[in-house]
């Protein structure tokens, strides 16, 4: 019969969390085992500290007195440098020194889709999934550069199995299974607003993924970093699962990281307004950091240069490159403590009768760490401006801003732009809006060059008004 270890029990009690054992004696053996395993994973000494600092009071992000906007390489005026960077990036790809990393452990609550977000059918015309966009693109790039591009995919304990199943069903989108490496991020227990940890069932804590900041340590703990060393991977191209427009590897971005010998790089988008919901790249004490949009004081967000442009104009679309060595250094010793960020959520919990229900209002706190909090740990950070229309179509909601709807439009627009540049006539309304839905198979087109090849091969001259096309 399973009994809870005395040492563990006293640590739980000392942390003020004895209520978690309330149903323990009523559980069957499997339930007891499950709960004991979860409880054994928790750092109990830390729980009262987290409750005090993040739950019982609202943590405030301190704005350093010397905070200044970060400078970055602008799209215009650096043509010669970019040409060298692109050549370097292509060389690194040919040498097989670049891998992709997709973070796909989030719960996608805003999308309200009951499966891993990466399986969402985002194609504007076909039902091509987010994962297929990346997988096919990686396959095309690796074909083009004649070298492997290993793909690391971070899942959570909740969606790992369903994610792998999807990849098996889709035959890994033609990729070699050995080049796709799934790994699982850590979890954090959720707190009630009174600082007590929550049970989501009689035999389970309310656990949730520990944020995309969990990626770095999970890379170490899963053996992914060891595999990178074995494969000779030097640069890690990082992107989120909900942005199908991203270039899975940007030769310019990866090449510039290497040329500049930077430890980490971030793509910068010029913000559309002072309150656009993007993190802000800033400098303090000589280090680059991101201040979340919700934490940047209005007077700073509004601050303008003499020409009227925003001072804090550099926004983050969460696209990064990392040197492998930087991640190794950060996680040596098998630990990495990034700051926690608080989010108040509606967390399924037990009612007085021990049955699970989801409350109508936020009843608890989830703590997450964010990957961008690793930026200040680097001595040398590369900030490179990107063209929004070419690389950023976040899919957070079903409709409206940053939605499935807006993302599909942006994919069609991106494809229209590529086809137009290759000489194809594109149907547009009087207001310039695109009058067609255009999908291009990422298996055949991963960049502008490929689009030209596709147009030549197909002899395509024009897209018909109102057409819904998939070009392969
Ligand atoms: P979001 O912050 O948009 O969160 O994640 P989400 O969980 O996907 O969506 P909501 O907020 O519940 O609606 C941005 C990226 O970070 C990944 C997500 O999968 C997405 O690619 N992520 C987020 C993780 O991998 N792990 C996490 O713990 C959180």
**397 — pLDDT class (breaks 50, 70, 90):** very high
CA 82 to centroid of ligand 1, rounded, Å? 31
pLDDT value of residue 4: 87
**Token reading at 28:** 């069957």
CA 86 to centroid of ligand 1, rounded, Å? 30
* Spatial CA neighbour of 391 closest among 269, 241, 237: 269
pLDDT value of residue 437: 98
The Cα–Cα gap between 49 and 56 comes to 10
Which of 115, 212, 362, when mutated, tests ligand 1's pocket best, judged by the most ligand atoms within 8 Å of its CB? 212
pLDDT value of residue 60: 85
Is the pLDDT at 2 greater than 80? The verdict is no
CA 331 to centroid of ligand 1, rounded, Å? 22
Task: Tell me the mean pLDDT in the region 198-207.
Answer: 97
407 with 122: CB under 8 angstroms? yes
139 with 174: CB under 8 angstroms? yes
CA 104 to centroid of ligand 1, rounded, Å? 7
Is the pLDDT at 32 greater than 80? The verdict is yes
Ligand 1 atom 10, closest CA: 108
- Kindly state the percentage of the chain with pLDDT values over 70: 100
Is the pLDDT at 61 greater than 90? The verdict is no
**432 — pLDDT class (breaks 50, 70, 90):** very high
CA-derived radius of gyration, the chain: 24
pLDDT value of residue 439: 98
**Token reading at 22:** 């309330």
The Cα–Cα gap between 176 and 149 comes to 10
Nearest atom within ligand 1 for CA of residue 210: 28
Report helix, strand or coil for 208. strand
CA 343 to centroid of ligand 1, rounded, Å? 13
Is the pLDDT at 105 greater than 80? The verdict is yes
Is the pLDDT at 62 greater than 90? The verdict is no
CA 102 to centroid of ligand 1, rounded, Å? 11
pLDDT value of residue 396: 97
Is the pLDDT at 177 greater than 90? The verdict is yes
Ligand 1 atom 20, closest CA: 240
Which residues form ligand 1's pocket by a CB distance below 6 Å?
103-110, 117, 154, 185, 209-212, 240-242, 368, 396
Half-sphere exposure of 217 (CA within 13 A, CB side): 16
Is the pLDDT at 381 greater than 80? The verdict is yes
Nearest atom within ligand 1 for CA of residue 211: 28
Ligand 1 atom 2, closest CA: 106
CA 316 to centroid of ligand 1, rounded, Å? 15
Tell me the residue ranges of DSSP E strands in 158-303: 180-184, 187-189, 191-192, 199-201, 204-205, 207-209, 235-240, 264-270, 279-284, 287-291
What is the distance, to the nearest Å, from the Cα of residue 237 to the centroid of all Cα atoms in its chain? 11
Which of 104, 106, 155, when mutated, tests ligand 1's pocket best, judged by the most ligand atoms within 8 Å of its CB? 106
Task: Tell me the mean pLDDT in the region 348-354.
Answer: 90
Give the residue carrying structure tokens 């030549």.
Answer: 456
375 with 264: CB under 8 angstroms? yes
Beta bridge partners of 425: 462
Is the pLDDT at 352 greater than 90? The verdict is no
**Token reading at 99:** 């891998």
Report helix, strand or coil for 291. strand
* Spatial CA neighbour of 344 closest among 368, 373, 370, 369: 368
Task: Tell me the mean pLDDT in the region 373-384.
Answer: 98
**Token reading at 18:** 């004895």
Ligand 1 atom 9, closest CA: 108
Is the pLDDT at 1 greater than 80? The verdict is no
The Cα–Cα gap between 11 and 26 comes to 21
Quick: pLDDT tens for 234-259.
999 999 999 999 999 999 999 999 99
CA 404 to centroid of ligand 1, rounded, Å? 15
Is the pLDDT at 153 greater than 90? The verdict is yes
Question: 23 or 1: whose pLDDT is higher?
Answer: 23
The mean predicted confidence, pLDDT, of the chain is 97
Report the predicted TM-score, pTM, of the whole model to 2 decimal places. 0.96
């Amino acid at each position: 019969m399973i009994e809870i270890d005395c040492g563990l029990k006293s640590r739980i009690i000392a942390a003020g969390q004895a209520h978690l054992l309330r149903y323990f004696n009523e559980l069957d053996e499997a339930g007891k085992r499950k709960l004991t395993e979860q409880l054994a994973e928790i750092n109990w000494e830390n729980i009262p500290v987290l409750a005090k600092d993040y739950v019982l009071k609202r943590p405030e992000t301190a704005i350093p007195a010397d905070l200044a906007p970060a400078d970055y390489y602008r799209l215009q005026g650096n043509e010669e440098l970019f040409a060298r960077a692109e050549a370097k990036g292509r060389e690194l790809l040919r040498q097989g020194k670049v891998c992709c990393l997709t973070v796909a452990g989030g719960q996608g609550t805003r999308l309200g889709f009951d499966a891993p977000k990466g399986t969402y059918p985002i194609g504007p015309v076909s039902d091509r999934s987010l994962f297929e966009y990346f997988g096919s693109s990686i396959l095309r790039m690796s074909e083009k550069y004649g070298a492997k591009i290993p793909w690391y995919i971070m899942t959570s304990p909740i969606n790992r199995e369903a994610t792998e199943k999807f990849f098996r069903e889709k035959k890994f989108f033609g990729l070699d299974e050995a080049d796709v490496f799934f790994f699982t991020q850590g979890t954090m227990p959720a707190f009630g607003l009174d600082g007590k940890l929550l049970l989501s069932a009689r035999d389970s804590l309310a656990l949730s993924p520990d944020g995309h900041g969990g990626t770095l340590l999970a890379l170490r703990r899963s053996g992914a970093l060891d595999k990178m060393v074995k494969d000779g991977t030097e640069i890690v191209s990082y992107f989120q699962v909900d942005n199908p427009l991203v270039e899975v590897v940007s030769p310019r971005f990866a090449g510039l990281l290497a040329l500049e010998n930077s430890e980490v790089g971030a793509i910068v988008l010029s913000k559309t307004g002072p309150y656009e919901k993007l993190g802000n790249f800033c400098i303090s004490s000589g280090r680059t950091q991101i201040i979340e949009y919700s934490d940047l004081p209005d007077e700073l967000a509004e601050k303008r240069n003499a020409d009227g442009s925003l001072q804090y104009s550099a926004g983050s679309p969460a696209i990064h490159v990392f040197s492998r060595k930087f991640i190794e250094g950060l996680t040596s010793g098998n630990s990495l403590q990034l700051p926690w960020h608080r989010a108040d959520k509606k967390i399924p919990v037990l009612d007085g009768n021990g049955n699970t229900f989801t409350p109508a209002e936020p009843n608890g706190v989830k703590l997450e760490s964010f990957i961008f909090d690793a930026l200040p740990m680097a001595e040398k950070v590369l900030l490179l401006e990107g063209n929004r229309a070419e690389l950023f179509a976040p899919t957070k909601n079903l409709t409206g801003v940053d939605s499935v709807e807006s993302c599909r439009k942006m994919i069609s627009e991106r494809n229209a732009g590529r086809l137009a540049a290759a000489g194809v006539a594109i149907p547009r309304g009087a207001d310039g809006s695109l009058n067609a839905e255009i999908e291009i198979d990422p298996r055949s087109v991963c960049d502008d060059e490929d689009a030209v090849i596709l147009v030549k091969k197909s002899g395509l001259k024009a897209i018909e008004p109102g057409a819904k096309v998939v070009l392969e």
